[in-house]
Amino acid sequence: MERISVAPGEAIAEIFARWACSINAATIPLEVRDAVTRSLVDHVGLAISARAEPYVRAIIADWDGSGECMAFGHDRGFDAAGAALINGTAAHGEDYDDTFEGSPMHTGAVVIPAVLAVAQRYKLSGEDIFRGIIAGIELMCRLAVVAPTAQHRAGFHPTAVAGTMASAAGVAVALRMNPSETVNALGIAGSLSSGIIEYLAEGTWTKRLHPGWAAQSGIRAALLARNGFKGPRTVFEGQHGFFFAFSDPSIARDYSFLTRLPGDDWLSARIAFKPYACGTMVQPFIDCAVRLSTRLHESDEITAIRCMVGEGTVHRLWEPLSEKRRPSTPYSAKFSVPYGVAVGLIDRAAGLRQFTSERIADPRLLALTGLIGYEIDPLDEYPKNYTGHVQIHLADGRVLSERQSHLRGGVREPLSDEEITLKYYANCAFGGMKRDSAKQLLSALKGLFGPEGAEGLRGLRPEFD
């Protein structure tokens, strides 16, 4: 293998660091600021919704570190790494968090908990919190499109491996580290990145852990760099760099996304917010199912349901088909199109209450999932666009069909501010937070990028049922 030679100052990490460290919060477009604010609100509501879940309790049980950093929904204070780990894991735990259209990555559950934890530890200003979050999210979105689907095909979770790089960048910028230190932070983060997708086999919990682990790993990478630890500047494009280690080599790489940095084209403005509590590519099929449910009558006998799908989604959302038709855990159900279509048809909903041990065992649901199969559509636009197409075949020979041409909640049909706020309150309520406390916290979050910064969170004592 020929060794890659990169001139001083021309490595991708060096180019990105110079841009990121020069971010001026006052010049960020309004749509980008709005996207970051919505992501912050969505993130916190989700963290609260999962505060009592067993996978969150498992982390807290033996976490020794304590400090002034807040894990949302918990009384005790944590060190920065602990708060980032808990908040990131909780926010992503039910797969209801924001995602990036272009190649799915969950930016908010990684970058926001990392920057917030460091902001509380070091009492950072609102401007620096915002600069850090936008730098991290923008890097993560750009990493998603360098080689779309390449990490998944290599067996890695993109949110996990790219998230460590993004959180390191976000923390470095929030702490106003210089470009050289930021390059080292990215270089170190490359060796701390991890996260395989074997959780798909049986719906186990490791995917839930990935964003939180990436968030705390990014903090450690940035602080090591700030204290003089060195990392490779060619961490992205090097002979043994990030894309060599974590990507399928058959997928072409376009590094220009990391070097041709925003003028007017901020990828972070394209963050999508989920209307349903499940995997991103399942969502358009649920929309189809909900609409189809209004066209069915009790006398209709369904003989088969066919879904037209992108080839790149099959290994995660359709196979093994026996598991996808009868999910073994509520978490496995979140990555099953058959289950998503079934609850869409029967419940006309796919919120947190549709993914419980009791619900996934419902005989009526399972009778329906057994009828659901797939056919690969060679014209499907995945991963550039997430679509749905469902056909219901009836005993009388009729075929009912619905298409969803895009991800609802994304660029083509964004959720409104009101819908984001309603989702926040619903998630807080699911986690047992009283309405007045949720309202007070929301006010503090919306002021987080102002003069008070992280101090605006201090002293909040939310009440729970």
Among residues of the chain, what percentage have pLDDT more than 90?
93
CATH number at residue 53: 1.10.4100.10
Residue 45: in which H helix or E strand, if any? helix 30-49
Identify the CA nearest to 449 among candidates 222, 112, 143. Answer: 112
Q: Do 299 and 258 belong to one domain?
A: no
Boundary of a domain, candidates 239, 272, 305: 272
Q: Do 225 and 101 belong to one domain?
A: yes
Identify the CA nearest to 151 among candidates 100, 98, 194. Answer: 194
- How many angstroms separate the Cα of 8 from the Cα of each of 13, 70, 225? 11, 40, 19
With bands split at pLDDT 50, 70 and 90, how would you rate the model's confidence at 2?
A: low
Instruction: Kindly state whether residue 181 falls inside one of the protein's structural domains.
Output: yes
Q: How far apart are CA 149 and CA 225, in angstroms?
A: 30
Q: Do 131 and 219 belong to one domain?
A: yes
Tokens for 37? 């604010």
pLDDT for residue 460: 87
Boundary of a domain, candidates 357, 386, 404: 404
Strand ranges in 296-442 using DSSP code E only, listed in sequence order: 302-309, 372-376, 388-394, 399-404
Boundary of a domain, candidates 241, 272, 303: 272
Instruction: Kindly state whether residue 199 falls inside one of the protein's structural domains.
Output: yes
Tokens for 379? 């014209």
Write the burial class of residue 294 (CB in 10 Å: 0-12 exposed, 13-18 middle, 19+ buried).
Answer: exposed
What's the number of domains the chain is made of? 2
Q: Do 223 and 128 belong to one domain?
A: yes
Q: Do 234 and 292 belong to one domain?
A: no
pLDDT tens digit sequence for 279-289: 999 999 999 99
Q: Do 148 and 23 belong to one domain?
A: yes
Give the mean pLDDT of 230-245. Answer: 97
Q: Do 106 and 155 belong to one domain?
A: yes
Instruction: Kindly state whether residue 87 falls inside one of the protein's structural domains.
Output: yes
Give the mean pLDDT of 86-97. Answer: 97
Instruction: Kindly state whether residue 428 falls inside one of the protein's structural domains.
Output: no
pLDDT for 263 beyond 80: no
Q: Do 180 and 309 belong to one domain?
A: no
Q: Indicate the pTM of the whole model.
A: 0.94
Instruction: Kindly state whether residue 433 falls inside one of the protein's structural domains.
Output: no
Q: How far apart are CA 29 and CA 182, in angstroms?
A: 24
- What count of other Cβ atoms lies within 10 Å of the Cβ of residue 30? 8
Q: Do 385 and 293 belong to one domain?
A: yes
- How many angstroms separate the Cα of 49 from the Cα of each of 110, 389, 425, 465? 17, 31, 10, 13
Instruction: Kindly state whether residue 436 falls inside one of the protein's structural domains.
Output: no
Round the average pLDDT of the chain to a whole number and report it: 95
Give the mean pLDDT of 118-123. Answer: 97
Q: Do 257 and 290 belong to one domain?
A: no
Q: How far apart are CA 24 and CA 3, in angstroms?
A: 37
| Backbone φ/ψ region at 326: left (φ over 0), alpha (ψ -120 to 50), beta | beta
Of the chain, the end-to-end C-alpha distance in Å amounts to 61
pLDDT tens digit sequence for 198-220: 988 787 899 999 999 999 999 99
Q: Do 241 and 340 belong to one domain?
A: no
Q: Do 133 and 206 belong to one domain?
A: yes
pLDDT for residue 346: 97
Instruction: Kindly state whether residue 460 falls inside one of the protein's structural domains.
Output: no
Instruction: Kindly state whether residue 327 falls inside one of the protein's structural domains.
Output: yes
Tell me which of 331 and 4 has the higher pLDDT: 331
- What count of other Cβ atoms lies within 10 Å of the Cβ of residue 249? 12
CATH number at residue 341: 3.30.1330.120
Q: What is the domain extent for residue 371?
A: 280-404
